[in-house]
Amino acid sequence: MSAKPIRLKIEPLDGSFGAQVTGIDLAHARQKAEMVAALEAAFLEHHVVAIRGQELEVDDVVAVSRCFGPLEPHVLDRFHHPDTPLVLVLSNRVDANGRAMGLKDAGSFWHSDVSFKKCPARATLLYALEVPDEGGDTLFCDMMAAYDALPEKLKHALDNAIAVHDYANRDRVAHRTGTKPRLDSENLRSVPPVRHPVVRRHPVTGRKALYVNPTYTVCVQGMEASQSESLLGEIFDHCLKGQFQMRYRWRPKDVVIWDNAAVMHAATTQNLEPSKYRTLWRTIIVGEPTY
């Protein structure tokens, strides 16, 4: 007789998407194929999955992340974890000499992780070591639901459109808000502009989602600049309606994993008070080319 499938306890988060998984110890569950398969199913269905109260070392974070695919270091190498370049340290703490102990602002702009590469991130995993009692939330936007809600005429117009994504645009956006650029000219050369469909089919489920974001998407290919800017502005205004958003409020020892083919996200750390500390470990799970 075959074993019964694992059924995780899943509760919805605030909003129309996202879920909290309880009753699981990730440090041990990653060794069980049926548990990994159940987590994968929850990830695909809910787009954002949170598992609270996890006691993980950096090796555990890497191992759990690998359950979702191969990993890659972030292009910004000066805040890699000292034990492994596969973990990026996000933190607003400084050491005794006043040097930053991590990346302070990991993206207070709407974006999809690593959309500036030919193979964008499949998933992102964050593990919270410390979070403030208030502030430092992460915002998510359901790009599948946003696509589904588009007028049919606009869906048809976008279905074959191609957009250009460029990491350098992140620093242009940051400059307008007073945030310092991250990459020097040498690092920027390692991430040249790439193209992705404006409407992307999910590589596993086949569902369509809008795959543009205000941080990395610079234009729609083949359009005049003003026409492209107008179209992207219309798309972003639509996506960022409250009905498509969800706010995640962190607790220490939380693990959150999200599907970059289904959602975009934004940090709120830019508004965090200096006396409130937030330190997380981040991994990037590599995805597939979009076409």
SS (H, E, C) 188-233: HHCCCCEEEECEEECCCCCCEEECCCCCCEEEECCCCHHHHHHHHH
Q: What pLDDT is attached to residue 93?
A: 94
Over residues 13-70, the pLDDT tens digits come to 988 999 999 989 999 877 788 889 999 999 999 999 999 999 999 999 999 999 999 9
The DSSP element (H or E) to which 186 belongs, if any, is helix 185-189
pLDDT at 127: 98
DSSP states of 124-175:
EEEEEEE--SS---EEEEEHHHHHHTS-HHHHHHHTT-EEEE-THHHHHHHH
Place of tokens 């991590």: 102
Task: Find the mean pLDDT for residues 86-95.
Answer: 95
Among the listed residues 141, 111, 109, 138, the one whose alpha carbon sits nearest the alpha carbon of residue 243: 141
> Three-state secondary structure along 18-36?
CEEEECCCHHHHCCCHHHH
Residue range 158-177: average pLDDT?
Answer: 83
DSSP reduced 3-state for 58: helix
Is residue 202 within 8 Å of 209, Cβ to Cβ? Answer: yes
Q: What is the pLDDT of residue 5?
A: 59
**CA contacts within 13 A on the Cβ side of 178:** 2
Nearest to 116 by CA among 72, 55, 50: 72
pLDDT band at 177 (very low <50, low <70, confident <90, very high): low
Structure confidence at residue 4 (pLDDT): 56
- Contact of 131 with 252, CB cutoff 8 Å: yes
Q: What is the pLDDT of residue 186?
A: 66
The confidence score (pLDDT) of residue 32 equals 84
Rg (CA), the chain: 19
Q: What are phi and psi of 148, to 5 degrees?
A: -55, -30
9-286: CATH topology: Double-stranded beta-helix (3.60.130)
With a threshold of 0.85, does the pTM exceed it?
A: yes
- Least confident among 87-101, 167-181, 202-216, 266-280: 167-181
Q: 77 or 58: whose pLDDT is higher?
A: 58
DSSP string, 232-248: HHHHHHHHTSGGGEEEE
